[in-house]
Structure 1
Amino acid sequence: MNKAKEASKIDGRTFLRDAFVAEQEVLRLQLALSSKSITHNGVMGEVNEAHFIEVLRKYLPNRYGVAQGIVVDCNGATSDQIDIIIFDPQYTPTLLDQQSHRFVPAEAVYAVLEAKPSINKQYLDYAANKAASVRRLERTSVPIRHAGGEHPAKALFPIIAGIVATDVEWADGCASKSLIETLGALTGEREINLGIALSDCAFQVKEGSLHLTEKGGSLAAFLFLLLGRLQALGTVPAVDWERYGAALSGNA
């Protein structure tokens, strides 16, 4: 007898929830192992980023690329190093790739996430500064030609920013007043839109208010929040490659 099949027949919602909780437990154990066995903080951070990237690649549609890197614009300005970039790999190539290093054109970016051991004020401020370093870059957008004519240049959407972590440091978890106050103070280029503490819950900021998911199953909740936000963005703008070329030739 296949227990999973029987469970799905008896209560499909419980079956689905339990399956995602098991997936979450695998990720939690991987992160716990790295914290207990890796003695170099930099290496441990890279390993944890890789674990989160692996999960995102598994669940996001193939139209989204997921990698660490630096974002670059048509003027040659660059962002800080970003732990996790969700970008368009289909129409926008990454540039100057070397091993795990790459430059992602600003126009290709859907979202940027910082991977940290926990959520607290310091790490939220840090993630906000990383997001600002991406959002302040210039993005181009040009019309798209097709057989029937031309689509107008796509309006630029706001880039999503978030934080992913194992724990939340406040005693009352994501429901903490301190989390609400910290997120409320992060506005404009430094706004944090969503996040997850695996041990607690996922959250998102929507229309100025903080919305928390139920405890348990935080990974699935975060993935669905992220998928919904990505879906709402549609597609990235078409890059004005002549602007990039002009910067290289000195004719910008």
Structure 2
Amino acid sequence: MTVKNILIIGGASGIGKEIALRFAKEGHQVAVADINKQTLTQMVMDSGHHNLVPFEVDASCWESVASLANEIKKRFGFLHILVYSAGITKSVKFLDIDWATWNKTMAVNLHGLFYSIKFCQPILEQGGSIIIIGSGSAITGTGGGIHYAASKGGAFGLMRSLVTELGKNNININVVAPRVIESDMLKSLYPTEQSKQSLTKEIPIGRFGTPSDVFHAVNYLSSAKGKYVHGQILLLDGGRTYKQSL
């Protein structure tokens, strides 16, 4: 097995944590970056993986991401895989969204993605992979609020605009767009058992997705088998988005 250098931004919890732990378990060198230092430190300690290296970063801050890229270069030299999993949302109705909520959502979900690719792309080796953890909300416009859907939709456009430029260096870039994945974010949006049961009925496959489902998609897209997949959005939703009503 070829050991890969992997950076997961937003990797201390939820989907990002699962991806980081799974790659580390497989023996890869995994840099896990997150804004929550306490959660990050605890995650690394609990994992027992010596190849899981913590880095504190504020993805919404230009200088912080630039510094992270410099530290990664010093520690690993180069990257094989960049995964951007940082994301926030707050369930607020359109007319109730204030500037702070809109701005913070865009800063983390979209601006941080741009900063991360901009500063990390120079240390991605030829043949590397960039995987963006997006959301089915960008397709449906539902779930998480208009600010969340708009930020994730922006990620789709950013990804597509980079296809030609990154392709020149044989770097493939794709979005994995989960919908209804078991996570803290899902719990905040659907806090009651009744709301969860109602949601499950809308999913043809009959269950919520798991962080493990997302990992398998990321693993494929960043592997040799997935290298010809470039500039695509992989929707993970159990069939919910395009189900037919009988």
Q: What's the TM-score bracket when you normalise by the shorter of the two chains?
A: 0.3 to 0.5
Relative to the length of structure 1, the TM-score reads: 0.36
- Give the helix-richer structure, 1 or 2: 2
* Higher Rg: 1
| Structure richer in strand, relative to its length | 1
